[in-house]
Chains A and B, each alone.
Chain A
């Protein structure tokens, strides 16, 4: 009997889930016979089973709904809004009861008379006009696929068995490599290997569910919500066939629901307000999923009022989350980030729909817990877009392996922001009251040594270590000093024993390629055990980062020299590789310009117009822009110096960029960029990479755009780099980089802006690639 009830519950749940979308569709098209039929089928099934199981309440409800729907089917009655709502209410009640039954409890006494009454026709005065009889066969196109129900536990067991098999195969492969086996064994192993890979794919897929399971409930939810709020919302759900790990689906259910509710409640305006704003009175909400590499991207876009960054800032200041002084320096993206702070809601009034204490902070921490990311983009008055990026599965985690002494550990890659050397130029380490602080490019982050957290001996000093900058869920960063960084690996992670988990440091264990166990860290746990406070400080840290750089002039080291014709000039030291003495014989006219032979390389030569007299020695600087080299002839080096004064730019571009005072006397500053452009630009340097300049201080560009630009074949330099760039990418509204006559791509953060200003929306990847290629093609 229990088994029968369990089957009944499972069947009901399945039907209920698939019905959610059907009912809304039925409401939009009451004459749609097939929808009506499937709803009818559901209540009919429930009714039939209830009689058998003796659930009188359930039976009465389903019976009433069946009667009403039978009338519609027979054409005696027409489906109207009132009926749809009443049927929905009944179905909801049935769902609730099914859950009670599933829990093994007996159904409580209750009164469903109101619900049943609601089904009666004519309560709202609607006249039952017989609809034109729907003629024609209802084609049952879809034949139910043959399926069986399996317990998830069993699937998990098979999954872990297959994971073990993969690891065992890896070990076998290693053994085979070590002792050169004969070809037959290798062949057999290859076959086994292939079969295992295939099995792993298949079993991974069994754990996958179509994200549709998550999406089917959305139209219904939006419908109910918008009805309650007196709004009209059109939902568009796309990409339901994207597949995602079953557990993942459960993990993103709540965050997704919350975001959608928010969008309907706060995002989309009421009809009157929309008309006033010149929009259609029906709001538009689109939820779409797509796969990108080993990530799933879920976009939730609405065309509502957008997120008011300024209001967020005001609220944050009022709530004491940030200082007013810091607030003014926040970029729009940072303003949106405030949305994820605990205890901040932009809703003018708290409704019962959202703003019930579950905030965006919970959404973000939920998503980050599964290694995902939430992104926000919004334009005031036009709409907003939330993007959830989540990994495909929970069990395979991309990780970075690091070591202390001889022991290896793994860190989930999703938490890693960057990796810097502790002795690098941009990093300073200091001890303040016993606490470590790392200043990385002007940003102060707490620093802890992994060896100290783990209480492991390490022979390295702080300066010899490598800093892994981590951003555990919640958004605050800290730097973890490790002895050595090894490799990126995809690790099959398993939970560790409770005694190990109790340390709070680890997220699980995994096996390295050589079969030895590796512990995977929980970055938040590391911070906690390391005594790093994660709240509050990073926001200020981030604000400081974007604060205007101190106006202190940076001194530029130069080499002061005298040219062949006696002029006093300076060349930036950074561009000079070394000084060479060459014989006159090595200098030749070739292909239209003077060239000098140095060993096996032939470099263009600047700084002189004619070959030196026979037998004379020529001194030259060997200049380099990182990949191309050229020579610059000179008479003598005067001194090393620094440019501290102002540079008076030359009127026309040429060999000299400008004049400055060095050591109290004027000196002409060599324009290395011009030299390279003149002497190397046309020389057809096949291997020369195009150079792209990105703003050093723009985190988005450095983190998101840079890989794309590099993938397009550019070498990326920063704003402070001296190197001539072939392309400059700048954010919308930033000042033109002075003195650069190179193509510039401007990026805007708003997808809708007019395109005639030549800017590209920053997520318009296709547009971006085209622009990158266009410029890149011109250079080569």
Chain B
């Protein structure tokens, strides 16, 4: 049984998250900002009486910032070390089956992508970059520090 992947778009690019790590896909409306938190922490949101720490994937990857001032945003909910996070993405596309183990990508990627990449996985259509959720949550700045 091959790994299932959740295909999402971040900064206009299709990437894959391990579906086993994703609890659910939600739509967030209001965000409570967290003053002085790292920039990639977009804020807090509540999901069924649970507090979600919302991660702005664009910022985490140093691709710019997602506009969170209004509207509804799609996010993938993951759990890491007992905390729940919502990863803000442009959109959630599909769930596909991986056709291969992640293979290292030898081409030069952007700094942000480099840090969160687990490698390239083959799917039925196009190969996708598999994202390390923990590294994404940690954010680029935190690692640089």
Q: Which positions in A face B, CB cutoff 8 Å? A: 164-165, 167-168, 171, 407, 453-456, 494-500, 502-503, 505-506, 509-511, 515-519, 529
Q: Say if the beta carbon of B106 comes within 8 Å of chain A.
A: no
Q: Say if the beta carbon of B105 comes within 8 Å of chain A.
A: no
Chain A residues near B81 (CB-CB < 8 A): 498
Least CB distance from A522 to B in Å reads 12
Q: Say if the beta carbon of B125 comes within 8 Å of chain A.
A: no
Chain A residues near B32 (CB-CB < 8 A): 407, 516-519
Q: Which residue of B lies closest to A517 (CB)?
A: B44
CA distance A503 to B50 in the complex (A): 21
Which of B35, B50, B82, B142 touches A456 (beta carbons < 8 Å)? Answer: B35
Q: Say if the beta carbon of B38 comes within 8 Å of chain A.
A: yes
Sample 13 A-B pairs with CB under 8 A, ordered by A number: A164-B49, A165-B49, A407-B33, A453-B36, A455-B35, A496-B51, A497-B83, A498-B81, A498-B83, A499-B37, A499-B41, A502-B37, A511-B51
Chain A residues near B48 (CB-CB < 8 A): 164, 168
- Do A517 and B38 touch (CB < 8 A)? no
CA distance A167 to B46 in the complex (A): 11
Q: Say if the beta carbon of B123 comes within 8 Å of chain A.
A: no
CA distance A509 to B47 in the complex (A): 13
CA distance A408 to B79 in the complex (A): 26
Q: Which residue of A lies closest to B48 (CB)?
A: A168
- Do B44 and A454 touch (CB < 8 A)? no
Q: Which of B21-67 contact A (CB under 8 A)?
A: 30, 32-38, 40-41, 44-46, 48-51, 53
- Do B30 and A502 touch (CB < 8 A)? no
CA distance A515 to B49 in the complex (A): 7
Q: Which positions in B face A, CB cutoff 8 Å? A: 30, 32-38, 40-41, 44-46, 48-51, 53, 81-83, 85, 137-139, 142
Chain B residues near A505 (CB-CB < 8 A): 35-36
CA distance A510 to B82 in the complex (A): 15
Chain B residues near A499 (CB-CB < 8 A): 37-38, 40-41, 53, 137-139, 142
- Do A167 and B49 touch (CB < 8 A)? yes
- Do A509 and B51 touch (CB < 8 A)? yes
* Given A503-B37, A517-B44, A497:B30 Cβ within 8 A: no
Chain B residues near A529 (CB-CB < 8 A): 36
* Centre residue among A167, A171, A499, A515 by max chain B CB count within 10 A: A499
Q: Which residue of B lies closest to A170 (CB)?
A: B49
- Do A500 and B41 touch (CB < 8 A)? yes
- Do A500 and B34 touch (CB < 8 A)? yes
- Do B36 and A511 touch (CB < 8 A)? no
* Given A497-B53, A498-B83, A516-B30, A503:B36 Cβ within 8 A: yes
| The 6 A-B residue pairs with the shortest CB-CB distance in the complex, in nearest-first order | A167-B49, A454-B35, A497-B53, A517-B44, A497-B83, A509-B51
- Do A511 and B35 touch (CB < 8 A)? no
Least CB distance from A399 to B in Å reads 15
Judged by DSSP, the binding face of A is: mixed
Chain A residues near B40 (CB-CB < 8 A): 499
- Do A516 and B46 touch (CB < 8 A)? yes
- Do A496 and B53 touch (CB < 8 A)? yes
Q: Which residue of A lies closest to B53 (CB)?
A: A497
* Given A407-B33, A454-B36, A499-B142, A171:B51 Cβ within 8 A: no
Chain B residues near A495 (CB-CB < 8 A): 82-83
- Do B49 and A500 touch (CB < 8 A)? no
Chain B residues near A506 (CB-CB < 8 A): 34
CA distance A453 to B36 in the complex (A): 8
* Given A509-B44, A516-B30, A517-B44, A494:B51 Cβ within 8 A: yes
CA distance A515 to B44 in the complex (A): 12
Known: A168-B48, A455-B36, A494-B51. 5 other contacts (CB 8 A): A165-B49, A497-B41, A497-B85, A505-B36, A517-B32
Chain B residues near A511 (CB-CB < 8 A): 46, 49, 51
CA distance A168 to B49 in the complex (A): 6
Chain A residues near B36 (CB-CB < 8 A): 453-455, 503, 505, 529
Least CB distance from B29 to A in Å reads 11
CA distance A76 to B83 in the complex (A): 63
Which of B30, B37, B45, B138 touches A500 (beta carbons < 8 Å)? Answer: B37
Chain B residues near A171 (CB-CB < 8 A): 49
CA distance A498 to B85 in the complex (A): 11
Chain B residues near A168 (CB-CB < 8 A): 48-49
CA distance A455 to B36 in the complex (A): 7
Chain A residues near B41 (CB-CB < 8 A): 497, 499-500
CA distance A342 to B84 in the complex (A): 40
Chain B residues near A517 (CB-CB < 8 A): 32, 44-46, 51
* Centre residue among A454, A497, A505, A529 by max chain B CB count within 10 A: A497
CA distance A506 to B138 in the complex (A): 18
Q: Which residue of B lies closest to A157 (CB)?
A: B82
Chain B residues near A455 (CB-CB < 8 A): 35-36
Least CB distance from A492 to B in Å reads 9
Least CB distance from A527 to B in Å reads 14
- Do B34 and A164 touch (CB < 8 A)? no
Least CB distance from B4 to A in Å reads 26
CA distance A496 to B45 in the complex (A): 12
- Do A519 and B142 touch (CB < 8 A)? no
CA distance A503 to B41 in the complex (A): 11
CA distance A453 to B35 in the complex (A): 9
Chain A residues near B34 (CB-CB < 8 A): 500, 503, 506, 519
Q: Which residue of A lies closest to B52 (CB)?
A: A517
Chain A residues near B49 (CB-CB < 8 A): 164-165, 167-168, 171, 511, 515
Least CB distance from B26 to A in Å reads 14
Q: Which residue of A lies closest to B139 (CB)?
A: A499
Chain B residues near A165 (CB-CB < 8 A): 49
- Do B44 and A519 touch (CB < 8 A)? yes
Least CB distance from B20 to A in Å reads 20
- Do A500 and B53 touch (CB < 8 A)? yes
Chain B residues near A503 (CB-CB < 8 A): 34-37
Q: Which residue of A lies closest to B145 (CB)?
A: A502
Which of B37, B38, B50, B139 touches A164 (beta carbons < 8 Å)? Answer: B50
Q: Which residue of B lies closest to A504 (CB)?
A: B36
Chain A residues near B51 (CB-CB < 8 A): 494, 496, 509-511, 517
Q: Which residue of A lies closest to B30 (CB)?
A: A516
Least CB distance from A404 to B in Å reads 8
CA distance A171 to B44 in the complex (A): 18
Chain A residues near B137 (CB-CB < 8 A): 497, 499
Chain A residues near B50 (CB-CB < 8 A): 164
